[in-house]
């Protein structure tokens, strides 16, 4: 799960991570009022979307930049008016961009230097890792690619946690001395505490700014939370903005299904993540393109199967469906009943290939055969993939 920058700022404040004061606004008038409330000159208006690269982004109305430094409340109102309700395209949003329905108005700071600072979970070492760089700002991906020696890495011991000496080491590597080092160490420590206590899988601050009056402040915030920990993060869950997520994935999560939308035209409905991955592979191997990853889990109910079908059919790119079920815990006949219910309810007219194997398979196949629906049976994975690829190519 991700959150917006304005929400991240609230977490920063709660945990004592230094960040300029800000207010969120949903209309141009609110933006003007927020600017007046924050007061003074030197403010920044920032489009709130779940994507980075906003500074260099462009709105579909031609307006350039999702981050603008301004001076008056009138300007805040005017800039907010150009952003709100518009779609912002950045290198992270994809060409379709993201709709901006809120802007952040924050106190602007005068930047002397932009660093990069992130905490994330590193799977290769099974440790939380600190990634930092003096080359902060807007192009960290390029820094990592072209000058990897400028990326500082520090791994956190799982039981000891982030140590003060490690914070000092990172601050020193960023060239921070004296009072700046003290502030940086305080900020890193607070951020690590926030990261652990909120079950984050990523906190990225880019830029971590050094101001001309020698303050260390977090100017941007990108958060990822571990979905498997959300059950114990009730406050974090309230920050979820489902309008930023793929609607198909939102619907799937309501039914406890693991669904990831893809760009192809062959939908798959599979039980088990490993089998779902192999199903996508074999579709590709036979020249097709999967429209999704969908794992209905080990013990899906008839209703879950029906819901899965409806989500699949909600994707206009889908031209055919492959159901691949290996019934271990799953009863093949439950799947068959779910498929039929969904096919009847949705008036399914797309080619449908079903491969069932395992627990109660004979009854499942019998149920499908008796349904009178145009379902193509398949005996193994290769057979199933070849049949659906051929059916979609013919359609
Ligand atoms: P991103 O492009 O989505 O990563 O958005 P950021 O919040 O990182 O903003 C992009 C850039 O705008 C930063 O790298 C800064 O150079 C600049 N910026 C952001 N906030 C301020 C600010 O308060 N004052 C000034 N002068 N520049 C800012
Ligand atoms: Mn940034």
Identify the pLDDT of residue 140: 85
CATH code of 280's domain: 3.40.50.261
> Minimal CA–CA distance to 394: which of 303, 273, 288?
288
**200 with 123, same domain?**
yes
Atom 11 of ligand 1, residue of closest alpha carbon: 55
Among 237, 271, 306, residue at a domain's last position: 237
Residues 212 and 260 grouped into a single domain: no
CA-to-CA distance for 351 and 7, rounded, in angstroms?
45
pLDDT at 154: 97
Q: What is the pLDDT of residues 196-225, one digit of tens each?
A: 999 999 999 999 999 999 999 999 999 999
Q: How far is the CA of 376 from the centre of ligand 2 (A)?
A: 50
pLDDT at 335 over 90: no
Q: What is the pLDDT of residues 143-195, one digit of tens each?
A: 889 999 999 999 999 999 999 999 999 999 999 999 999 999 999 999 999 99
Are residues 359 and 253 part of one domain?
yes
> Is residue 181 lining ligand 1, measured as CB closer than 6 Å?
no
| 310 and 226 together in one domain | no
The Å distance, Cα 207 to ligand 2 centre, comes to 5
Percent of the chain with pLDDT over 70: 100
Which of 22-26, 91-95, 230-234 has the least mean pLDDT? 91-95
- Is 244 catalytic? The answer is no
Question: Is the same domain home to 25 and 140?
Answer: no
DSSP annotation string for 51-91: -S--TT-EETTS-B-SEEEE-SHHHHHHHHHHHTTSEEE-T
Regarding the beta carbon of 105 and ligand 1, being less than 6 Å apart is answered no
Same domain, 130 and 67: no
Is 137 contained in some domain?
A: yes
Rounded distance from Cα 335 to ligand 1 centre (Å): 51
120 and 94 in a common domain: no
Instruction: Point out the ligand 1 atom lying closest to the alpha carbon of residue 57.
Output: 2
Question: What's the mean pLDDT when you consider all of the chain?
Answer: 94
pLDDT value for 141:
85
Categorize the per-residue pLDDT at 285 as very low, low, confident or very high, splitting at 50, 70 and 90: very high
Between 301 and 56, the higher pLDDT residue: 56
Q: Which domain, by its residues, includes 229?
A: 111-237
**What's the pLDDT at 363?**
95
- pLDDT score at 327: 84
Of residues 91 and 300, the one with the higher pLDDT is 91
Confidence of residue 246 (pLDDT cuts 50, 70, 90): confident
Same domain, 345 and 369: yes
The answer, yes or no, to whether any atom of ligand 1 lies below 6 A from the CB of 65, is no
- Tell me, yes or no, whether 259 lies in a domain: yes
Given 88, 107, 126, the domain boundary residue is 107
Catalytic residue among 5, 30, 114, 204: 204
C-alpha to C-alpha distance for 208 and 189, rounded to whole angstroms: 14
Residue whose pair of structure tokens reads 């609607």 in the numeric block: 247
Contact 191, 115 (CB under 8 A): no
Ligand 2 centroid to residue 206 C-alpha, Å: 4
On the question of pLDDT at 300 being above 80, the answer is no
**CA quadruple 307, 308, 309, 311: dihedral positive or negative?**
positive
- Could you list the beta-strand ranges (E) of the chain: 22-25, 43-47, 58-59, 67-70, 87-89, 98-99, 103-107, 111-122, 127-133, 151-155, 200-211, 216-218, 222-225, 258-261, 266-270, 292-295, 320-327, 352-358, 375-378
Q: Specify if 6 maps to a domain.
A: no
User: Which atom of ligand 1 is least distant from the CA of 110?
Assistant: 26
Q: Is the pLDDT of residue 299 over 80?
A: no
User: Residue 13 falls within a domain, yes or no?
Assistant: no
CA of 239 to the centre of ligand 1 (A): 23
Distance in angstroms (rounded) separating the CA atoms of residues 233 and 212: 37
Number of C-beta neighbours around residue 94 at 10 A: 10
* Closest ligand 1 atom number to CA of residue 20: 23
**CATH number of the domain that 229 lies in?**
3.30.470.20
**What pLDDT score does 329 carry?**
80
Give the per-residue pLDDT at 304: 87
Q: What CATH number should be reported for the domain holding residue 60? A: 3.30.1490.20
Residue nearest to atom 6 of ligand 1 (CA): 220
Catalytic hit among 116, 192, 195, 259: 116
Q: Which residues of 219-229 are buried (b: 16+ CB within 10 A; e: fewer)?
A: bbbbbbbeeee
* Active site annotation includes 116: yes
Which tokens go with 306?
């029906």
What is the count of structural domains for the chain? 3
**Pocket lining: 48 vs ligand 1, CB cutoff 6 Å:** no
**Quick check: bond before 207 cis, omega within 30?**
yes
What's the pLDDT score for residue 267? 96
Q: Which residue among 214, 237, 260 closes a domain? A: 237
Q: Which residue among 140, 210, 219 has the greatest number of ligand 1 atoms within 8 angstroms of its CB, and so is best to mutate?
A: 219
- Are 36 and 30 within 8 A, CB to CB? no
The pLDDT score that the predictor gives to residue 49 is 96
Residue 9 lies in a domain: no
- Calculate how far, in angstroms, residue 285's C-alpha sits from the geometric centre of ligand 1: 44
Write the DSSP symbol of residue 14.
H
Residues 117, 191 share a domain: yes
Q: What is the pLDDT of residues 37-79, one digit of tens each?
A: 998 889 999 999 999 999 999 999 999 999 999 999 999 999 9
State mean pLDDT over 379-393.
Answer: 95
pLDDT score at 348: 87
Question: Which tens digits make up the pLDDT trace of 93-145?
Answer: 989 999 999 999 999 999 999 999 999 999 999 999 999 999 998 688 888 89
Nearest-CA residue for ligand 1 atom 20 is 219
245-266: average pLDDT: 89
Asked whether residue 198 falls in the same domain as residue 272, the answer is no
Same domain? For 79 and 136 the reply is no
Verify that 185 and 149 share a domain, yes or no. Answer: yes
**Residue 1 falls within a domain, yes or no?**
no
From 2, 40, 55, the mutation candidate for ligand 1 (largest count of ligand atoms within 8 A of CB) is 55
The residue whose CA has the least distance to atom 14 of ligand 1 is: 137
- pLDDT of res. 213: 96
Comparing CA positions, the residue from 28, 49, 153, 141 lying closest to residue 96 is 49
């Amino acid at each position: 799960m991700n959150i917006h920058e304005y929400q991240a700022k609230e977490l920063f404040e709660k945990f004592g991570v230094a960040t300029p004061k800000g207010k969120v606004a949903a209309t141009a008038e609110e933006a003007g009022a927020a600017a007046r409330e924050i007061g003074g000159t030197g403010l920044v208006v920032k489009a709130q979307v779940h994507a980075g690269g906003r500074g260099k982004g462009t709105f579909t109305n031609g307006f350039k930049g999702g981050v603008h430094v301004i001076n008056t409340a009138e300007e805040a109102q005017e800039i907010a008016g150009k952003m709100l309700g518009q779609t912002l395209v950045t290198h992270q949003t994809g060409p379709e961009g993201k709709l901006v329905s809120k802007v952040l108005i924050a106190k602007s700071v005068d930047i002397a230097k932009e660093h990069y600072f992130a905490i994330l979970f590193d799977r290769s070492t099974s440790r939380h890792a600190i990634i930092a760089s003096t080359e902060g700002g807007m192009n960290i991906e390029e820094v990592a690619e072209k000058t990897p020696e400028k990326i500082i890495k520090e791994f956190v011991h799982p039981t000891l946690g982030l140590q003060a000496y490690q914070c000092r080491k990172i601050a020193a590597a960023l060239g921070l001395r004296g009072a700046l080092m003290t502030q940086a160490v305080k900020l890193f420590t607070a951020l690590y505490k926030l990261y652990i206590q909120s079950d984050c899988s990523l906190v990225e601050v880019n830029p971590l700014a050094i101001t001309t009056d020698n303050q260390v402040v977090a100017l941007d915030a990108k958060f990822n939370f571990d979905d498997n920990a959300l059950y114990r993060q009730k406050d974090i869950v309230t920050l979820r903005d489902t309008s930023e997520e793929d609607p198909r994935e939102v619907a799937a999560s309501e039914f406890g299904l693991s669904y990831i939308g893809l760009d192809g035209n062959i939908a798959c409905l599979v039980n088990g993540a490993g089998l779902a991955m192999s199903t996508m592979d074999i579709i590709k191997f036979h020249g097709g393109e999967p429209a999704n990853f969908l794992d209905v889990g080990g013990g899906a109910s008839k209703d879950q199967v029906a819901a899965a079908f409806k989500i699949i059919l909600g994707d206009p790119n889908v031209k055919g469906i492959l159901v691949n079920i290996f019934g271990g815990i799953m009863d093949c006949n439950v799947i068959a009943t779910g498929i039929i219910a969904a096919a009847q309810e949705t008036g399914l007219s797309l080619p449908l290939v079903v491969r069932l194997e395992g627990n109660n398979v004979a009854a499942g196949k019998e149920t499908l055969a008796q349904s009178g629906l145009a379902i193509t049976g398949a005996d193994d994975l290769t057979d199933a993939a070849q049949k659906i690829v051929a059916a979609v190519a013919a359609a």
